[in-house]
């Protein structure tokens, strides 16, 4: 018995010692494991440009980038990795992709091997609720059919007349009146919001043939415009959320997915109401009456491959796609342009000098007062320095900072990056504007002169300056976008000095287009006639 007790005591003692040993060494084991994981991640960083954590991949680095400025974060990684890197997301997610800012790669995917790099099922599925099967979410023959039809309309004389006349009306009857009311009271205004209202009204006239009145006095909240903005913001959240997560949120109808559902309901109600009213209008149209030149009317006259009219859903998708493209891109570009102008007064002075010179060359000689001038189309086209300044703003702050493609068959980029079928490719236009290898050591400077040759504007390669995309998907509205931005910018600059409110934070917002997160708070001061007169006296 004593022997048995002694053996039991000895076993218990050994077990206790083992437990104590494990307890004493548990912190060391944790530290050792942490060191191993960290060393593994740092080793991977040398290969990938970012730490690759077990299970989580590069997600921690991405989350840190989201807390700051994600676009600057991407630019920094691309610069360290000579223009291309592979992003590895968490295990069992769809966040793996290749990110590039190499012009050679962009020409390869946008032009040379265009058919191998469609939008792809991941992109289309992520934004299908908002964009449906519209031109910016379509691939292959669906895209080609819409592109052909839209191209014919964009280049028609009637459409060009509509866009020019509607722009003059909106700028002189609304925009300048709103600015005058606010400036006379000495109030601050969110210039980004005002510009978004202007372009929203303009693009709705072009797409739907209706005027939502966003830029009416008092700047009212327009339900359709608000719903459209909320829907685009909720859609972009999906791109930084694992697919299984946002689909679960959609199933549960909570969070951003609930916002998206409610916003899309309002967007659809507006769109279908306009479509049905237009259908009735066309049926009741009397012979000889002037036809409308908006995109909706143009597509209603077309037929699908079976010879049938396009469905209401398809017409809705077409119009929503063009509103997204036309509303955000020009207004956001103008907001960044005016912010840069405030920081670079010599550029503003050169623009003012150019505008005065052009108006001063009118047959009537101009009267030295630009307060009432309405720029003529041929005058706007001659504003080369202004176009250079706008292009420079777009180089540094492209309206679409990143875009997405997917590989349908194995490919190899010109820089040697191997792409397996199904790989998602992100091309980063924002980062391209900050690459010394593309733009030189002064790449971060706002320098319109880089776009001029002998005083005339000279565009760069679409694969170096990708603000308007490139290859077969080159923006159909590029010429109109430049015309619109130049007309609006010149109309404001010749009347007001735009000063950003001191201390106002200006950072990009994570969205499909590069909004300023906090808007652009400015104060306006009327230009004195004597200031303009000295420019006229030079000519």
Give the DSSP letter of residue 516: B
User: Is the Cα torsion angle 324, 472, 467, 236 positive or negative in sign?
Assistant: positive
Is-contact 373 403, C-beta < 8 A? no
Distance CA(230)–CA(226), nearest Å, equals 6
Helices (H) and strands (E) in the chain — how many of each? 21, 11
How far is CA 57 from each of CA 47, 105, 243, 358, rounded to the nearest angstrom?
13, 25, 16, 57
144 in helix, strand or coil? helix
Q: What is the maximal distance between C-alpha atoms in the chain?
A: 125
Q: Output the six-digit token pair for 482.
A: 């430049």
CA 9 to each of CA 1, 12, 13, 270, 308: distance values in angstroms, whole numbers, following the listed order: 12, 5, 6, 83, 92
d(C-alpha 508, C-alpha 399), whole Å = 10
β-bridge partners, 98: 86, 425
User: What is the signed CA dihedral for 186, 191, 197, 200, rounded to 10 degrees?
Assistant: 160
* Cα–Cα nearest to 388, from 339, 456, 335, 442: 456
Q: Tell whether residue 475 is among the known ligand binding residues.
A: yes
Q: Sheet containing 521-526: which strands, arranged edge to edge?
A: 189-190, 521-526, 496-500
Tell me if residue 149 falls in helix, strand or coil. helix
- Judging by beta carbons within 10 Å of its beta carbon (0-12, 13-18, 19+), is residue 72 exposed, middle or buried? middle
Annotated binding-site residue numbers? 475
Annotated binding-site residue numbers for heme? 475
């Amino acid at each position: 018995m004593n022997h048995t007790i002694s053996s039991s005591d000895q076993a218990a003692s050994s077990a206790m010692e083992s437990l104590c040993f494990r307890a004493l060494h548990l912190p060391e084991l944790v530290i050792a494991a942490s060191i191993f994981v960290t060393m593994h991640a740092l080793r991977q960083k040398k290969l990938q440009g970012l730490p690759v954590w077990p299970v989580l991949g590069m997600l921690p680095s991405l989350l840190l980038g989201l807390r700051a400025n994600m676009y600057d974060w991407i630019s920094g990684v691309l610069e360290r990795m000579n223009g291309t890197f592979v992003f590895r997301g968490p295990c069992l997610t769809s966040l793996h992709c290749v990110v590039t800012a190499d012009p050679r790669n962009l020409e390869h995917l946008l032009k040379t091997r265009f058919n191998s790099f469609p939008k792809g099922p991941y992109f289309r599925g992520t934004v299908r609720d908002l964009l449906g099967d519209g031109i910016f979410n379509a691939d292959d023959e669906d895209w080609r059919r819409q592109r052909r039809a839209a191209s014919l309309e964009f280049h028609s004389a009637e459409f060009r007349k509509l866009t020019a006349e509607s722009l003059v009306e909106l700028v002189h009857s609304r925009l300048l009146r709103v600015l005058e009311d606010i400036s006379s009271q000495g109030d601050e205004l969110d210039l980004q919001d005002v510009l978004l209202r202007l372009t929203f009204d303009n693009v709705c006239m072009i797409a739907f043939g209706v005027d939502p009145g966003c830029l009416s006095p008092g700047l009212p909240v327009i339900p359709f415009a608000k719903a459209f903005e909320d829907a685009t913001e909720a859609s972009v959240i999906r791109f930084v959320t694992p697919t299984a997560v946002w689909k679960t949120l959609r199933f549960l109808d909570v969070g951003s997915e609930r916002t998206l559902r409610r916003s899309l309901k309002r967007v659809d109600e507006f769109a279908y109401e306009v479509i049905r009213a237009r259908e009735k209008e066309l049926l009741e149209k009397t012979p000889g009456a002037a036809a409308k030149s908006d995109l909706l009317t143009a597509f209603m006259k077309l037929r699908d491959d079976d010879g049938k009219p396009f469905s209401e859903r398809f017409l809705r998708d077409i119009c929503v796609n063009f509103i997204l493209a036309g509303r955000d891109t020009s207004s956001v570009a103008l907001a960044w342009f005016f912010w840069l102008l405030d920081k670079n007064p010599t550029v503003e002075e050169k623009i003012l000098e150019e505008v005065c010179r052009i108006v001063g060359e009118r047959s009537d000689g101009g009267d030295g007062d630009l307060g009432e001038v309405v720029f003529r189309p041929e005058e706007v086209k001659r504003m080369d320095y202004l176009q250079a300044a706008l292009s420079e703003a777009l180089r540094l702050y492209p309206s679409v900072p990143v875009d997405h493609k997917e590989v349908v068959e194995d490919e190899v980029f010109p820089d040697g990056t191997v792409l397996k079928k199904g790989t998602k490719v992100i091309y980063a236009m924002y980062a391209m504007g900050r690459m010394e290898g593309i733009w030189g050591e002064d790449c971060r400077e706002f320098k319109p002169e880089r776009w001029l040759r002998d005083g005339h504007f000279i565009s760069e390669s679409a694969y170096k300056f990708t603000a308007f995309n490139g290859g077969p998907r080159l923006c159909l509205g590029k010429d109109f976008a430049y015309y619109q931005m130049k007309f609006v910018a010149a109309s404001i600059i010749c009347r007001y000095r735009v000063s950003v409110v001191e201390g106002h934070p200006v950072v990009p917002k994570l969205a499909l287009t590069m909004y300023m997160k906090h808007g652009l708070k400015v104060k306006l001061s009327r230009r004195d006639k004597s200031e303009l007169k000295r420019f006229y006296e030079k000519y």
